Amino acid sequence: MFKRYQLHWNVGHTRNPDDTAVERVPAMVPGAVQLDWARAKGWGDFFFGDNWWRYLWMEDEFWSYVSRLDLPCVEEGHRLIFVCRGVDYRFLVRLNGVELYRSEGMFTPFEIDLTGRAVTGDRLEVLVYPAPKSMPTPSDLTTGEESGQDVPYSKLRFFRINGRDQANQSCKPAVSYGWDFHPRLIPLGIWDETYLELRPSCHMRDVETRYTLADDLSTAEVGVEIRLSEAGPGTLRWRMLNPRGQVCLESEASASQSPLTLRAKLDAPALWWPNGQGDAALYLSRVELCDHQGLVVQRVDAMVGFRTVRLVTHPATWVEPSEFPKSRSVPPITLEVNGRRIFCKGSNWVNPHVFPGVITEDTYRHLLELVKNANMNLLRCWGGAIVNKESFFELCDRMGIMVWQEFPLACARYEGTPDYLKVLNQESCSIIHRLRRHPCVAIWCGGNELFNGWSKMTDQDLAIRLLNRNCYDLDPSRPFLPTSPVMGMGHGHYLFRDAQGLEVFQIQSQSKCTAYTEFGCPGPSSAEDLRKIIPEQDLFPPRAGTAWETHHAFNAWVEGSWLQKEVMEDYFGPSGSLEQFVEHGQRLQAEGYKCIFEEARRQKPTCSMALNWCFNEPWPSAVNNNLISWPSTPKPAYVAVAASCRPVLASARIPKFRWKAGETFSVELGMLSDLPEKTEGGPMEAWLRIGQQEEQLLLRWEVPSLEANVNIAGPIVRYVLPPVAAREMVLSLRMPDNPDRDSQYTLMYVPAVANNDNQRAVLNL
């Protein structure tokens, strides 16, 4: 029989792998050494103020986890296995000081058979090495345990911009080395489930259900590959249950050989569809190992979703330019699922916690329900972050959320040295082997922004070629992208208004990308959340050189960019309070995102994706491009994006944010539809309300019925804005027959021409 035993661990640090830690504290496993230490020392929340600075020294220590074994009795015909799903990052395992195992890489699980090797009272140790670094941290930024709170703000650029390069010879996710939205906090420790397990000697080590769908999707050839620890006298029973819980396939075989594959053919499988396109139908594939009496010794369940996925070209791809010389056409970036082209609406997913060891299924569930409710169908799991734990993918499978999964390479030049390629090979094989079972995984990608000036990698880099090779060998039916963006795709902008005065309204409508796989609009966190991270005396007004700065309001990306204080003041005037400041910033974020999502959708079918940067965040920021504040509170922009991502909606193409009296308000109406079936049209009314004035009906348009997955461009409203004492106007699109398709846009209104030059520049656009 199977039985799990949790181990009790403590942890301490040393400067030398052969020393014994002087002091040990209780360890939470899975977790992170930093959290254990801080908890023991009573440091308070790692995210408050500049507490993070106290953790810095820990990245350069060896951390020794020790557990005194208390072992069960191992009966004849059984094995006692130490099971570990992941240690972050480089480590070795010792039993009474004798090395049993050594590895590098957090994504490769391992097992150690302790049968006959360990007895109760033995000392099991997992020694975690310092965080890998291809170059040292500048000495003026290294600290010791006793360091005070004097954060050298002027020097933090290293952590925000250059720190990531230290990760360019490892598979350690680069984000924790410092990013424009992430503090310098590099987790170390046992980060995934770890326990002892008693097992029968003959047990299933790996079970994988794979299938091939017929071209017309009418049947599936299903095979279950079973690897046993050793051949045995028992029987393997396989059953497949359809989404209604009915047995639809059954087969069995003797456990006398390994590996073995059971095969069967399934007729008319219910298909797995992404959110908004149909049910995410899941089958249960259950394999049981039974002993000679027919009793179930072990059961392995897996959910199976039947679907095909390809990257296909958009209709204009093959139109050749008439001029010579001719280069190549753009690569495909339209996802086709079960033969149907899907416009991908989604977001970039980042680590939901600075210390991924503490992430649980609940962490994921709350966030992923928000993804689903935002009408999104794809998350880009960006290469700067971890590859998530199993429950993330299980939830995405259930919710129909497709995953674009990157390997852990981001924004740096990962040179193909033999040592690096070796660990990249191991880690990528582990990742592919685990995730290819999930229908939600739609795209493999080499990593983030690797073919750009700040990374300087190219198609020739061995790391990229290795990843393409491994994906081809282990999972050829899934698309592989070397990086994002590739030719035709775009990343950015990340501001509501750029330095030249261009707003998202102009930037986005001038862009002609095949996919927008990153774009951002920053907005502050709520006042309530800000109070949890900024010390009272620094709360308002926001200033550089305070916790506002380390929480990304200042000097995070472009100077002061996430805050955009000047832009806010230019539109709204100075904020009188934290609450007002938050309200102004959040409104810009919401309106900006609405514009981008709807404009990207309008560019279908030459555009195929709109994924904002970013959905969530790893710790509570002061200002960020995210939609969900840490850990899982929606910002107003979330509500706006959810509305803009509805399957079908009335939409307005708006040329600018700020309007003045006397100007002709000119917006193009349209209907956006990603519905997989034809839908009715009906009347659409455009109403404008300026300030407290009575709302005016500008136009009524009889929308024709919409073909499946096709938008319609409608008439252009033209209306001379009257002079009114107001600062705001609201455009409402109403569809009386289908009010769930209504949309609303809140814009700035100026009663007269303003005097300063900035404003005039905007007004004259």
- Say how far apart CA 578 and CA 686 lie, in whole Å: 34
As given in the structure block, the two tokens for residue 710 are 């096709």
Nearer to a second copy, 132 or 332 (CB): 332
216 binds a second copy (CB under 8 A): no
Nearest approach, Cβ of residue 476 and a second copy (Å)? 6
Measuring CA to CA, which residue among 657, 764, 654, 648 is closest to residue 716?
Answer: 654
From 254-262, 314-322, 391-399, 683-691, span contacting a second copy (CB under 8 A): 314-322
Cα–Cα distance measured from residue 432 to residue 445, given in angstroms and rounded to the nearest whole number: 11
Q: By CB under 8 A, which span of 283-291, 446-454, 587-595, 615-623 interacts with a second copy?
A: 446-454
| Among positions 40, 74, 260, 462, the unique one binding a second copy when judged by CB under 8 A | 462
Residue number, 21 or 515, with CB nearest to a second copy: 515
For a second copy, the binding residue among 19, 23, 45, 459 (CB under 8 A) is 459
Residue (244 or 326) nearer to a second copy, CB: 326
**Per-residue interface string for the shown chain with a second copy, residues 332-371, x marking contact by CB under 8 A:** x---------------------------------------
Residue 320 binds a second copy (CB under 8 A): yes
Nearer to a second copy, 164 or 199 (CB): 164
**Closest-CA residue to 657 (of 593, 576, 574):** 593
Query: 339: burial class by Cβ within 10 Å (0-12, 13-18, 19+)?
Result: middle
Of the listed pieces 46-54, 167-175, 201-209, 478-486, which binds a second copy according to CB under 8 A? 478-486
Instruction: Give the footprint of a second copy on residues 486-545 (CB under 8 A).
Output: 486-494, 498, 507, 511, 513, 516, 518-519
Q: How many residues bind a second copy (CB under 8 A)?
A: 53
Give the nearest distance from C-beta 285 to a second copy in angstroms: 25
d(CA 761, CA 497): 12
- Regarding 326 and contact with a second copy (CB under 8 A), the answer is yes
The Cα–Cα gap between 376 and 628 comes to 14
Q: Work out how close the CB of 485 gets to a second copy at its nearest, in angstroms, rounded to a whole number.
A: 5
Would you say 241 or 462 has its CB closer to a second copy? 462
DSSP-assigned letter for residue 154: G
Query: Could you tell me the smallest distance in angstroms from the CB atom of residue 763 to a second copy?
Result: 22
CB of 519 to a second copy, least distance (A): 7
Contact between 606 and 515 under an 8 Å Cβ cutoff? The reply is: no
Q: Which is nearer to a second copy, 581 or 597 (CB)?
A: 597
The phi and psi torsions of 459 (rounded to 5 degrees) equal -55, -20
Q: Residue 492: which residues within 8 A CB-CB, separation 6 or more? A: 518, 519, 520
Q: How far is the CB of 573 from a second copy (least distance, A)?
A: 27
Candidates 146, 476, 537, 694: give the one binding a second copy (CB under 8 A).
476
Q: CA 686, 655, 765 angle in degrees (round to 5)?
A: 140
Question: Which CB atom, from 189 or from 520, has the smaller least distance to a second copy?
Answer: 520
Q: Which of 44, 157, 247, 472 binds a second copy (CB under 8 A)?
A: 472
Question: Does 456 engage in binding with a second copy (CB under 8 A)?
Answer: yes
**Of 14, 103, 147, 468, the one binding a second copy by CB under 8 A:** 468
Query: Residue 709: left if φ>0, alpha if ψ -120 to 50, beta else—which one?
Result: left
The answer to whether residue 318 forms part of the interface with a second copy (CB under 8 A) is yes
Of 55, 451, 572, 597, which lies in the binding site for a second copy, with binding defined by CB under 8 A? Answer: 451
Contact between 690 and 749 (Cβ < 8 Å): yes
Cα–Cα dist 675/680, whole Å = 11
Element (H, E) at 62: strand 62-68
Span 263-302, contacts to a second copy by CB under 8 A: none
| Rg over CA atoms, the chain | 28
By beta-carbon proximity to a second copy, the closer residue of 392 and 480 is 480
At closest approach, how far in Å is the CB of 761 from a second copy? Answer: 17
**Residue from 117, 398, 465, 727 in contact with a second copy (CB under 8 A):** 465
* Angle of the 462-474 helix axis to the 418-435 helix axis, nearest 10: 30
Q: Which is nearer to a second copy, 479 or 542 (CB)?
A: 479
DSSP for 219-236, written as a single string: EEEEEEEEEESS--S-EE
CB 463, min distance to a second copy, A: 11
DSSP-assigned letter for residue 153: G
- Options 318-326, 621-629, 680-688, 739-747: segment touching a second copy (CB under 8 A): 318-326
Report in angstroms the alpha-carbon separations of 501 from 42, 494, 631, 652. Answer: 47, 14, 33, 22
CB of 371 to a second copy, least distance (A): 23
Which amino acid is present at 716? I
| β pairing state of 334-337 and 309-312 | antiparallel
Show contacts with a second copy in window 38-97 (CB under 8 A).
none
Instruction: Considering the complex, state which of residue 38 and residue 507 has its C-beta at the smaller distance from a second copy.
Output: 507
134 contributes a contact to a second copy by CB under 8 A: no
Query: Where do the H-state alpha helices sit in 59-196?
Result: 157
Q: How many other β-carbons are positioned within 10 Å of the β-carbon of residue 220? A: 22
Residues 6 or more apart whose Cβ sits within 8 Å of residue 567: 495, 496, 497, 588
What does 670-728 look like in DSSP terms, one character per residue?
A: EEEE--SS-B--EEEEEEEEETTSPPEEEEEEEEPPB-TT--EEEEEEEEEPPP-S-SE
* Closest to a second copy by CB, 316 or 708: 316
Query: Of 39, 205, 239, 310, which one interacts with a second copy (CB under 8 A)?
Result: 310
Distance of CA 147 to the CA centre of its chain: 34
Residue 554 CB contacts under 8 Å (≥ 6 apart), including other chains: 542, 543, 544, 545, 548, 560, 562, 563
Q: Out of 99, 473, 695, 737, point to the residue binding a second copy (CB under 8 A).
A: 473
Q: Which window, 53-61, 253-261, 452-460, 698-706, contacts a second copy (CB under 8 A)? A: 452-460
Contact stretch for a second copy (CB under 8 A) within 14-22, 152-160, 290-298, 474-482: 474-482
Measure the CA–CA gap between 640 and 527, rounded to whole angstroms.
Answer: 19
Nearest-approach distance from CB 69 to a second copy, in angstroms? 43
Q: Which is nearer to a second copy, 191 or 494 (CB)?
A: 494
Question: Mapping DSSP to helix (H, G, I), strand (E, B) and coil, where does residue 519 land?
Answer: coil
Please, which residue, 37 or 613, has the CB nearer to a second copy?
A: 613
Q: Which phi and psi (to 5°) does residue 389 adopt?
A: -70, 165
Report the residue number, 191 or 516, with the smaller CB distance to a second copy.
516
Nearest to 450 by CA among 432, 438, 468: 468
Least distance in angstroms from the C-beta of 313 to a second copy? 6
Residue among 267, 325, 677, 692 that touches a second copy (CB under 8 A) = 325
Q: What is the nearest approach in angstroms of a second copy to the Cβ of residue 497? A: 12
Cα–Cα dist 629/378, whole Å: 19
Q: Does 329 bind a second copy (CB under 8 A)?
A: yes
Binding site for a second copy (CB under 8 A): 310-311, 313, 317-320, 324-329, 331-332, 451-454, 456, 458-460, 462, 465-466, 468-469, 472-473, 476, 479-483, 485-494, 498, 507, 511, 513, 516, 518-519
